[in-house]
Amino acid sequence: MREISFDTETTGLNPRTGDRLVEIGGVELINHVPTGNVYHVYINPQRDMPEEAFRVHGLSAEFLSDKPLFEQVADEFLEFVGDGTLVIHNAAFDMGFINFELERCGRRSIPNTQVIDTLEIARRKHPTGPNSLDALCSRYGIDNSKRVKHGALLDAEILAEVYLEMIGGKQRALILDPDEEDVLSASAEGASEPGELGSFNARPRPAPLAALLKGDEFAAHQAFIEGMGDSALWKKYGG
């Protein structure tokens, strides 16, 4: 599964009233693990930089004046995204700008089905808030001390950490034995129905566990299983 933790910086709040993209940052995740593959570009907005926006990200019109136009990087941006899922905090804002710029230069827009909004995830998990990126960093103990000003790539990197904490995805990265990862994958692929165990070769115990049921208890247990019918999972998996 390929996902891209994603962020943008802009000249303002609304592309429909003349605001433009000035920076894009993306961090690739494969099966919830950062790969080190990133996308980052500054963009010439072909307009002035409002003071309010400059205070947020520190990108001046002079600095951006020799950077490429969006239409010059649109194809490489779409190639990087591919069919991956964009993971965005407050996705409506960033996707409003991205799709406006894509449509403006005649490229395909990115559908909502290709986007995960971490703000929505955060609101479900923490309904009392606050759920800003900085607040979530504080909640999950993520170091955001370098975030003096907003920057698309830095924010995408921080968002990736927040996202993984919210969904528990970091736990997969803690598997030390590659064979265990194969077993987990085989288990998921082998399962055909919800609740059905996948077919894989489990590692045998060095010594069998001692039986916990004794005498009459074991007989009562067997009688209980028989009463569940031939489809009982206990029978199928050796209970």
Q: Is the pLDDT of residue 10 over 90?
A: yes
pLDDT: is 238 or 102 the higher one?
102
What architecture does CATH give domain 2-173? 2-Layer Sandwich (3.30)
| CA pair distance 145, 134, nearest whole angstrom | 10
pLDDT in tens, 18-47: 999 999 999 999 999 999 999 999 999 999
What is 23-88 written as a DSSP string?
EEEEEEEETTEEEEEEEEEE---SS---HHHHHHH---HHHHTTSPPHHHHHHHHHHHHTTPEEEE
pLDDT in tens, 57-113: 999 999 999 999 999 999 999 999 999 999 999 999 999 999 999 999 999 999 999
pLDDT in tens, 129-168: 999 999 999 999 999 887 766 899 999 999 999 999 999 8
pLDDT in tens, 164-212: 999 985 554 444 444 444 433 443 444 434 334 343 344 554 555 556 6
Catalytic residue among 32, 89, 126, 150: 150
Give CATH 3.30.420.10 domain extents, the chain. 2-173
* Cα–chain center distance at 230: 42
What is the chain written as a DSSP string?
-EEEEEEEEESSS-GGGT--EEEEEEEEEETTEEEEEEEEEE---SS---HHHHHHH---HHHHTTSPPHHHHHHHHHHHHTTPEEEETTHHHHHHHHHHHHHHTTPPPPPGGGEEEHHHHHHHH-TT---SHHHHHHHHT---TT-SS--HHHHHHHHHHHHHHHHTTHHHHT---HHHHHHHHHHHHH--STTPPP---PPPPSSPPPPS--THHHHHHHHHHHTT-TT-HHHHTT-
The pLDDT of residue 208 is: 55
Residue 130, preceding peptide bond in cis (omega within 30° of 0): yes
Q: Is 150 a catalytic residue?
A: yes
